[in-house]
Amino acid sequence: MLDPVIRTAVPADLPNLHPVIERAYRGDAARAGWTHEADLLDGERIDRAALAAIVADPAARLLVAVDGGVPIGCVQVSDHGGGTAYLGLLCIEPLRQAAGLGRRLIAAAETTARDTFGAHRIEMTVIENRTELIAYYERRGYARTGERRDFPIAVQPPLFMTVLAKPL
């Protein structure tokens, strides 16, 4: 098997990529991997229209990992201005996790942030309960900023996001 190719997503990727994202984050299928939110949240992680908006946005790139023409993961990088980019929506097909593809997608996002958006800093938010995921990002050079943000949707009990950042 060849290494998956990482490239910028196009609209034609979205019908096959969307189910990967949902399997990676939510529902019973997500529990096959280690990075899921299935124990904290249910429902759809992101809808197809929101994915299409990311692909169409000139201040964002959705990078997709493709193996044999099939999407198996992705990461979003967005220009937040002032030299800061944002990394989000990192996911890998649950049964393909823990094989180094996440590390490759993060590196591709950081390169895109620096080379495409001129960023010198990249940040992300992680649900603060996800200590093992925060530790994963810390091993990749991200550090807690001390900032805490509200979760973007109201849930009970409330969730909060830890902000991590890394100089590029």
The pLDDT tens digits of the residues spanning 80-136 come to 999 999 999 999 887 777 778 889 999 999 999 999 999 999 999 998 988 988 999
Q: Is the model's pLDDT at 37 over the cut of 70?
A: no
User: Among 2-6, 15-19, 33-37, 74-78, which range has the highest average pLDDT?
Assistant: 74-78
151: buried, middle or exposed (CB in 10 Å: 19+, 13-18, 0-12)? middle
**What is residue 105's three-state secondary structure?**
helix
User: What does the DSSP assignment read for 10-52?
Assistant: -GGGHHHHHHHHHHHHSHHHHTTSSS--TTT--S-SS-HHHHH
**Does this model's pTM top 0.85?**
yes
- Confidence at 41, pLDDT banded by 50, 70, 90: very low
The pLDDT tens digits of the residues spanning 43-93 come to 445 678 989 999 999 999 999 999 999 999 999 999 999 999 999 999 988
